[in-house]
Chain A
Amino acid sequence: EVQLVESGGGLVKPGGSLRLSCAASGFTFSSASMSWVRQAPGKGLEWVGHFNSKIDGGTTAYAAPVKGRFIISRDDSESTLYLEVNSLKTEDTAVYYCATSGLTHWGQGTLVTVSS
């Protein structure tokens, strides 16, 4: 069974940083492209970015609102995906989900609140 467990969210001041983690199990993580998606309170879903598997080139891509501020990385030996969120703005407040290739399977999410 595919399991994705996010952690690392919390309350942070504008301009601050956090590192979110997504621990994966139940599938061959190293062969999977992985994504982050976020959802602001009471709002819809927004793709944040992805990290392709090595087989698919090991490339990353980001949504325009987060490009240059967010960094996705992965540790295939630990089956873990990361999202480093920097220069945070109040509009980055959201539940952050990790998801498998094609956004098939999702974790339960971790809440990031940006507030002074």
Chain B
Amino acid sequence: DIQMTQSPSSLSASVGDRVTITCRASQGIRNDLGWYQQKPGKAPKRLISTASSLESGVPSRFSGSGSGTEFTLTISSLQPEDFATYYCLQNNSYPPTFGGGTKVEIK
């Protein structure tokens, strides 16, 4: 199975901050990576697919980059509604595997 190592596991940030979350795959996965946002008690919501394609309706402050084994989710200016837990997911090969999550908290 492909291991997805996500960092940091948590971070504290203020509204307006630029936030970067990283996922590293244990082997190359091309650009077969998605990013999800999950708020407490809710289902995950996909923000980005194929490493950098923004889902419809997702604010442009979210962006994704990377290919192969290193991927990044960036929130350019953190907003109050962005405080949540973020997960990466590789769907290059079975089984699909998630990163461990990054909890973004208010500073």
Contact = CB atoms under 8 A, between A and B. Distances in A.
Contacts of B83: none
Interface residues of A, number: 17
A108 interface: yes
A46 B45 contact: no
Contact of B98 (A35, A46, A104, A105): A46
A82 interface: no
Contacts of B68: none
Contacts of A109: 43
A49 to B, nearest CB: 8
Interface string B29-55: 000001010100011111001000000
Interface string A44-75: 11110000000000000101100000000000
Nearest to B87: A45
Contacts of A64: 95
Nearest to A95: B43
A27 to B, nearest CB: 15
A102 B43 contact: no
B66 interface: no
Interface string B7-36: 000000000000000000000000000101
Contacts of B45: 106
Contacts of A104: 46, 49
CB-CB nearest 8 A-B residue pairs: A106-B43, A45-B98, A47-B96, A44-B101, A47-B95, A44-B100, A63-B95, A108-B43
Interface of B: 34, 36, 38, 42-46, 49, 87, 89, 91, 94-101
